[in-house]
Amino acid sequence: MDVTLAAGGAWTDPACPVARTVDLIGDRWSLLIIRDAMDGATTYTEFHQRLGIARNILADRLRKLVEHGILDKSAAAYGRRHTYRLTEAGQDLFTAVVALRQWGERHAFAPDEPHSVLVDDRGRELPELHPLDQDGAPLSAEASHVRKTA
């Protein structure tokens, strides 16, 4: 995986994992492409139809996600087309996408406003994600802090 930014780019905060992640995948379209890849989209056309994104922006985001090892691009069995699949690094974003979804369910909708629901293979809604400490107790932002490394 290439963990450098595009030519001439600089990390927003080189020592912060959150800042680096946002630098790599934090724009709206990249996250929605990742979401749709998790939901089964594999071709440029599928991403374009699902997202309604401008073609030039889609091509740019797909290229960047491939460059940074989030998606893998391979030749399709038919024609000149390509397929895109999440790499292991892309699959590792599942928990982050679920956390964003759950935050949105709690804070971006009115109580009676309909929205999609993420379910497991048996049709059950996913339980809410909560960080736990090393002993399994719930952990909050107030009970944690960043330790700088050398």
Q: Give the separation between CA 132 and CA 140, rounded to whole angstroms.
A: 8
Q: What is the pLDDT of residues 52-72, one digit of tens each?
A: 999 999 999 999 999 999 999
pTM over 0.75: yes
∠ CA(94), CA(30), CA(37), 5° rounding?
Answer: 50
Once rounded to an integer, what is the mean pLDDT over residues 36-64? 97
Q: Is the pLDDT of residue 9 over 90?
A: no
Local structure of residue 143 (DSSP, 8 states): G
Q: Give the separation between CA 53 and CA 60, rounded to whole angstroms.
A: 11
Amino acid letter at 87?
A: T
Q: Identify the band that residue 10 occupies on the pLDDT scale cut at 50, 70 and 90.
A: confident
Helix segments in 16-135, DSSP class H: 17-25, 28-38, 44-51, 55-67, 88-91, 94-107
Count of Cβ atoms closer than 10 Å to residue 117 Cβ: 10
User: Residues 72, 66: contact at Cβ < 8 Å?
Assistant: yes
In percent, the amount of the chain with pLDDT more than 70 equals 95
Q: What is the pLDDT of residues 101-132, one digit of tens each?
A: 999 999 999 999 999 999 999 999 999 999 99
Angle separating helix axes 55-67 and 44-51, nearest 10 degrees: 120
Q: Identify the band that residue 23 occupies on the pLDDT scale cut at 50, 70 and 90.
A: very high
What's the pLDDT at 149? 82
